[in-house]
Amino acid sequence: MQRVEKEIARLIQEIDYDEVTKLFSTLSGGKRLRAKLILKIAPNHKDAPLLAAIVELIHGASLLHDDVIDDAMTRRGVVSVNASSGSKIAVMLGDILYSKAFTELVAFDKDVAQTVASSVTALSKGEMMDVKMAETFNSDEKLYLDMLYLKTATLIEAAAKASALLVGKDAEKHALYGRNLGLSFQIIDDILDITASEEVLGKPAMNDFVEGKCTLPYIYLYEELNTEDKERFVSFHAKEISKDDTLWIKEKMQEHKTIEKSFELAQKLSNEAQAAMSEDAELVLILETMIKRTF
Ligand code: FPP
Ligand code: MG
């Protein structure tokens, strides 16, 4: 991973703007899941660290924009750029990072470059769907999973597929692995938003629903409630609600096992990915660690 951090630092240096270098140094790198995946799939390819750096810059850019869109005050446990320096700077830093990433990407083989580039259109479409869907109460599971795939899984899918292409491994198998890893990762994230504590999350618990996001445990709950409870539940959508009402939602989720049901889908997707990659112990381990994570 040190090779990736070195590449990222080099690319930032090449941007040649002190403001960017300074701001970038305040960001937390996060889990670097996408970079780790690329290095695991193409460990000996000379361009793997650069590809990993490109994907991490794109991911970082998308989070900068996402925090502006979501009005988020923190990111990865530190103050977000929009909170510390304002939305204009956060948007522009995002633009600089992802255009730099694309400048580097064009030097790769066409199939690799296209795989990563097209995933960025998909992730932007997903983010827009997410914004639109949060305007009303969404109880459509398929629509929700389609959005999740676009918003979170496509870049992970692209990272896995592009690195497989780089070393001549089975691109489709790796794409499926990345897709399912991404989807189950996000479902676990949705679950943790409900089950983890504020300290662990670094943001208020059950924040998704307050932001209007009906994640899987909420969609499954809606399906189970009677008409009267459905009405009550929908009335809580996209607003700050009292402790009692929060408790009511949590109790209903327990009663109808909607967290368990969501976890089962994450597990099923993870099992499919595992089956596609059964010969690669390290990739299987990433899946297992992700499914068991508590933050
Ligand atoms: C986090 O979602 C957001 C994403 C994974 C994708 C955001 C994508 C864009 C803003 C498109 C623009 C792309 C570029 C490259 C500039 P979340 O809000 O559900 O998760 P969070 O809790 O981590 O904020
Ligand atoms: Mg967000």
User: Which of 27, 54, 57, 62 for a ligand 1 pocket mutation test, highest count of atoms within 8 Å of Cβ?
Assistant: 62
Distance 213 CA to ligand 2 centre (A): 10
> Which regions of the chain are under pLDDT 50?
none
Ligand 1 pocket check for 127: Cβ under 6 Å: yes
Q: Do the Cβ atoms of 184 and 273 come closer than 8 Å?
A: yes
- What does the alpha-carbon distance between residue 284 and residue 180 come to, in Å, rounded to a whole number? 12
Residue nearest to atom 14 of ligand 1 (CA): 62
Q: Do the Cβ atoms of 117 and 81 come closer than 8 Å?
A: no
- What does the alpha-carbon distance between residue 29 and residue 76 come to, in Å, rounded to a whole number? 8
Ligand 1 pocket check for 123: Cβ under 6 Å: yes
Distance 62 CA to ligand 2 centre (A): 10
User: Which of 67, 76, 127, 183 for a ligand 1 pocket mutation test, highest count of atoms within 8 Å of Cβ?
Assistant: 127
Reference 116, options 20, 29, 50, 168; nearest CA is: 50
Q: What atom of ligand 1 comes closest to residue 94's alpha carbon?
A: 16
Taken in order 217, 249, 222, 128, the sign of the CA dihedral is negative
Residue nearest to atom 5 of ligand 1 (CA): 152
Reference 144, options 48, 46, 221; nearest CA is: 221
User: Which of 27, 59, 63, 78 for a ligand 1 pocket mutation test, highest count of atoms within 8 Å of Cβ?
Assistant: 63
Instruction: Specify the long-range contacts of residues 285-292, CB closer than 8 Å, at least 24 apart.
Output: 286/33, 286/36, 286/37, 286/40, 286/181, 287/181, 287/184, 290/33, 290/181, 290/184, 290/185, 290/188, 291/184, 291/188, 291/266, 291/267
Give the CA distances from residue 26 to residues 21, 132, 218, in Å, rounded to whole numbers and listed in that order. Answer: 9, 31, 35
* Ligand number, closest to the Cα atom of 101: 1
Distance 219 CA to ligand 1 centre (A): 21
Taken in order 202, 207, 211, 212, the sign of the CA dihedral is positive
Ligand 1 pocket check for 182: Cβ under 6 Å: no
Ligand 1 pocket check for 139: Cβ under 6 Å: no
pLDDT at 202: 65
* Ligand number, closest to the Cα atom of 96: 1
Q: Do the Cβ atoms of 33 and 63 come closer than 8 Å?
A: no
pLDDT at 218: 97
pLDDT at 17: 98
36-89 confidence digits (pLDDT tens): 999 999 999 999 999 999 999 999 999 999 999 999 998 888 899 999 999 999
The model carries a pTM of 0.93
Q: What atom of ligand 1 comes closest to residue 211's alpha carbon?
A: 18
